[in-house]
Copies of this chain bind each other. A is one copy, B any other.
């Protein structure tokens, strides 16, 4: 039996479903999307390149200068981000110049928007300096990341349940 007698009462996610085989999970995160996500965006250089892409940076030169990364690192990460489907490289031509490439976020890359805002807001909570201020263009109010259920309720940790799916429902993909 798991040692689940909580000796402290702090808000955590409530567990529902069969957690009996919980320990059988492979160590490589074959079942856990969090681990997979971290292998893709879980390093500093990837994240700040994505940051600059959100800020509208497209060209290699700009991305390097505005991130402060070494060219070698930036090139390697950008290639990886393209491979992972977060960015794509588009050719374009300025009049009177030769063809260039530019990096653009894909839909999957842009889907990181809530994560990006969460990361920035959380990072600002350490009292350190931050010159960034994300606001709603419509009304100028600052942005906040929140968690909501599909029925429209705002949800905190204490109202969250985690359901563990049985093993693999081979019927549904």
In Å, the complex CA distance between A149 and B63 comes to 28
Q: Give the size of the chain A interface in residues (CB under 8 angstroms).
A: 110
Instruction: Kindly report how many copies of this chain are found in the complex they form together.
Output: 2
Chain B residues with CB under 8 Å of A141's CB are 149-151, 153
Q: Say yes or no for A165: interface residue by CB 8 A criterion.
A: yes
Query: Does the CB pair A144–B136 fall under 8 Å?
Result: no
Given A22-B66, A56-B6, A56-B15, the answer on whether A143 and B147 have CB atoms closer than 8 Å is: yes
Q: Please, which residue of chain B has its CB at the minimum distance from the CB of A124?
A: B33
Q: Say yes or no for A133: interface residue by CB 8 A criterion.
A: yes
> Interface of A with B (CB < 8 Å)?
2-8, 10-15, 22-23, 25-39, 42-44, 47-48, 51, 53-56, 58-59, 61-62, 65-66, 68-69, 90, 92, 94, 102, 104-105, 108, 110-126, 128-151, 153, 155-157, 159-168
9 pairs of A and B residues whose beta carbons are closest in the complex:
A27-B68, A33-B123, A37-B123, A136-B149, A115-B118, A141-B149, A114-B145, A12-B56, A141-B151
